[in-house]
Structure 1
């Protein structure tokens, strides 16, 4: 099991070719590509453990390996970094993913379950138990995605031009729509609508918002291809593998080195300074995964750049999250047509309940009546996560960072956690009070405290309001108006989740600016 690694050791160098601020998986991915390209890289991380939101920690009892934030690494499977093993993380550095079947289970109020398998036919057969018409429509949606739309989406995720042609035109049209409209246009049965909308909320965005119309197809296709893609040993396995690569190529990764100042001199980003007074000079570039709500105010020696001030002022938290971690006596079991079923993930929530919860969130209310709810039990596929046949357990949902009734989350979080656990208990076996060995509730305030990048309790990077009043999940560029200063991390395109795209995309931008051909370390898309 991979817990509590800092992956670093040593001290910060006085100078490096490139200084990367932040050792989340995107900062490390960017640094890994740059190190592979022959640059001397130093990564400085504020926390005492690397990984950002891809950490694995003992949050409840000794020996129970909990992923404090991210759990599934599905989006990154289609990133060439993993898909083509561009960095050798799989073949050389021991990173291993378990692609599970079932992908996810959605227990129903009547005591049955809708089981999503890792294949289209098996999942369509499950949907057909509710509606043959919806099963055909589900198959059509996934088939359309594979017939050109997925390739265009890959270009979008890589920050590249979408190109011309019929597939690009269809993709643009789909992206202008909302997930809510797509789901309600294509599907009729309430259980099927709830299933696909639940999948569409995996990136923690309001599914009624224009721009989310690709999510029903893209996120469904990812689950069908990779299941609940689980890193063996925990989320920490990804940053640990990236750190090992960086160090093998002469780079440095240092924890407990929070950067609070970026020095700008003679019109260029020149160095960073840490909160404890250390200074690291950057010969060629600085790559920041610092939150874009804060970066503009970190610059010293120049006026506030307009583009970074614009990013700061346009950012908002979006949907903040609430988590419940627990150590259990055994893995949960879900009802299914074939008998009790173990699964690494399960979902609860109806279409109406999910949007009611989002509306309540905007009013400052924590709604536990019929919420979007993710249940994670990764010891079901990776027994190393817990000792002696016991189990890890997590609930993830949304809740406002500040409660409208004035209550402090320190006083309210146990009550909300109990309500969420009770919801799950009604649908599963193995969550009786005696089955819970230890429980830890984390409100949005706790989530923000756990990682300085989780501003406002948002662990997905939040969102930006565009000049025309739209909303996008990530700032669209990796360059800035400050020569030598580049951007990466969850607040850059395409936003949060474990995709590795902001890291790989930023590496391409840095290499191109430095006159290094990106094709020496990565493919064209």
Structure 2
């Protein structure tokens, strides 16, 4: 984090605020910025020494302090689908700069050939014709179905899943009507497994491989995992961007918005417990015993499981809800994420693949795959058995190729992410960490020449390292396992969706809440809107009026479960209250 930004962090702990936000990942900061702009006194409390969570950009110290690394995330896959940049004036007033990477990804082959995944599907199809004309046609047909899914699904991602805004409902309905001819194909694709969806459409490894390697969210053979290919639609419609100055430029801009609107942030202050008085969350206790009071509410942007099982005192939730919270899945997929940064003493050589293309594109800029389809499937199977795969597929990128300020001149900084390491390695993490690191770097050197020989420093982050660095329970970058049964009204668990909790004054946001993980800010934006709506109800009719409103909604939902064809005559539809 830049020194000028670090000096802006509050030096001492305030005693109270209107809203306390626990965690300064980008979703927590998005919510904090919206709440502050609405006139609330907002305090963000961060456990780590620097803000930003998994969007942190920090010095590669002590190993290589002259390099600057993106500690976890790198591409903003969904941020451009939102209105956050415009609403908070991040680019126009606070200096946030982003550039769309096109192609965002390449699949590299051992013979020097490659396939670019362009924003324009027609350009991808044109390249794919070299490998398979049949696959090129199938790709454009699949894009029609995926684009329909984006038109229908995205509006519902950008609203409260339990009380969707009427505009979102209407926009999604328009998408359904406009794309009704694709509904049967859409249903078949969404219900299939990821491997089924890929193999049904494509025959060549150059397109099959990246559609597994880049998207290891659910087990590849799990029913309904085909939905993960919706990323292609986002890539096409909105483009995938990177932030100048690293991913940390986003939290830095959000902190500036927060401070300009009277809010503040404190770091190195892990929350040890949520304060509960008269069944309401009234603040937090930080390490050392200091208490901070929240006049209106507390929003936690950490893992929902952390909030509900570690920070919330036992006995606050009724038994069934506590059991449900205790069993929020964070390590049940068999696969886990790992991240590696490598500082180099020179420049990586990708001339073999660049000469094959002959179009002058610097292949270091995009996030690239280079393992085969079968290697990706084999890696997933090995992980489930507790084995470190022989080959570990993932995404690689040279960070300073996009932003030269992040490393000394002429010296590259290599980044790698994979979602295909074992959740429970049979030989333990000390052995697995070395095996994973050595395997990744050895395989990479065939495509990124020099990554093995030019090493100055290597920093791997495997599951326990991610947990320790980012306070992420079970090292889950998703906060909740991204299985289809944990989306929508079940995210993170039934009874806790929609950002509200059964505890008055306690709200949830972050990657473990609707809709998805990744750099999007949607959970934070949706949570802030939900809180502001709740506060307006309280201001209009007092907290008793807000409680009565909640009870009325719960009774109506219960009635609909008993008789889905009935509705109270005075009950508005969700989003019209």
TM-based fold match above 0.5: yes
- Which aligned pairs between 1:5-404 and structure 2 lie closer than 5 A? 5-6=5-6, 8-59=9-60, 60-82=63-85, 85-146=86-147, 148-158=148-158, 159-160=160-161, 164=173, 165-166=176-177, 167=179, 174-201=189-216, 204-216=217-229, 218-225=230-237, 228-297=240-309, 298-300=311-313, 302-305=315-318, 306-317=320-331, 318=333, 319-328=335-344, 329-333=346-350, 335-336=353-354, 337-339=356-358, 341-344=362-365, 345-369=367-391, 371-397=392-418, 398-404=420-426
Q: Which moved more, 1:306-315 or 1:101-110?
A: 306-315
Match of 2:550 in 1: none
Asked if structure 2 preserves the Cα contact closer than 8 Å seen for 1:102 and 1:343, the reply is no
CA displacement at 1:46 relative to structure 2: 0.7
Q: Using the TM superposition, give the Cα deviation of residue 236 of structure 1 relative to its aligned residue in structure 2, in angstroms.
A: 0.6
Q: How far did 1:313 drift?
A: 1.2
Is the CA contact 2:488–2:514 (under 8 Å) kept in the aligned structure 1?
no
- Residue 448 (structure 1) shift: 1.6
CA contact (8 A) 1:461 1:495 kept: no
Contact kept, 8 Å, 1:130 with 1:192, in 2: the verdict is no
Q: Go from structure 1 to structure 2 and tell me whether the alpha carbon gap of 1:54 and 1:351 turns closer, same or farther (over 3 Å shift).
A: same
Structure whose residues are more often helix by fraction: 2
Name 2:523's counterpart in structure 1: 502
Quote the offset at 1:256 in angstroms. Answer: 1.1
Give CA deviations for 1:96-144 in whole Å, capped at 9, x if unaligned. 1121233222111322111223322221111111111211221222234
| Aligned-pair CA distance for 1:73 | 0.7
Q: Is the 8 A contact 2:113 2:357 kept in 1?
A: no
1:314–1:431 distance in 2 versus 1, CA, 3 Å: closer
Which residue in the other structure is 2:465 paired with?
Answer: 446
Tell me which moved more, 66-75 or 303-312.
303-312
Task: Please give the secondary structure, in 1, of the residue aligned with 2:395.
Answer: strand
Give the Cα separation in 1 of the matches to 2:485 and 2:149.
Answer: 27
Q: Secondary structure of the equivalent of 1:152?
A: helix
Q: CA RMSD in A?
A: 2.8
Change in Cα spacing, 1:516 to 1:273, as seen in structure 2 (3 Å) is: same
Structure 2 residues not aligned, in runs of 5+: 539-574
Distance 1:4 1:352, change over 3 A: farther
CA distance in 1, matches of 2:368, 2:536: 47
Are positions 1:456 and 2:456 aligned together?
no
- CA deviation map 1:386-431 (0-9, x unaligned): 1112111112223124321xx3423442333122111111223343
Deviation, structure 1 residue 332: 4.6
Structure 1 stretches lacking a partner, 5+ long: 518-523
Q: Tell which structure's C-alpha radius of gyration is larger.
A: 2
How many pairs does the alignment contain?
507
